[in-house]
């Protein structure tokens, strides 16, 4: 099993509602290099759809997505295309 890439930044968006978790993720991506990974923590279920669409639209890699007891965790790797 492949290990997720090392996470460079953790974005804690717990307690924030749409669209704030996605905005926080985008802000983190603005200062990262291609190939860097971000872990996003969110409690808003809408984050699942938002992060998936963000990755699809931007060509970024969603390398991990988990939910446990209402806490959503995503690891996204920045792509340069």
* Catalytically annotated residue among 18, 20, 23, 63: 18
pLDDT at 1: 42
What is the average per-residue pLDDT within 32-43?
Answer: 96
Other beta carbons less than 10 A from residue 57's beta carbon: 8
User: What is the crossing angle of helices 46-58 and 20-30, to 10°?
Assistant: 30
Q: Is 55 a catalytic residue?
A: no
DSSP secondary structure string, 8-76?
EEEEEETT--TTHHHHHHHHHHHTSPTT-EEEEEE--THHHHHHHHHHHHHT-EEEEEEEETTEEEEEE
Inform me whether the pLDDT recorded for 81 exceeds 70: no
**Structure confidence by residue, pLDDT tens digits, 42-77:** 999 999 999 999 999 999 999 999 999 999 999 999
Tell which CATH classification among 3.40.190.10, 3.30.110.40, 3.90.1150.10, 3.40.980.10 matches the domain 7-77: 3.30.110.40
| Every domain of the chain and the residues it spans | 7-77
């Amino acid at each position: 099993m492949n290990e997720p890439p090392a996470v460079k930044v953790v974005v804690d968006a717990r307690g924030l509602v749409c669209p704030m978790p996605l905005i926080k993720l985008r802000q983190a991506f603005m200062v990262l290099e291609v190939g860097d990974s971000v872990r996003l923590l969110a409690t808003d279920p809408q984050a699942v759809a938002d992060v998936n669409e963000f990755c699809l639209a931007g060509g970024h890699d969603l390398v991990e997505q988990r939910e446990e007891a209402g806490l959503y965790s995503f690891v996204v790797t920045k792509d340069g295309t």
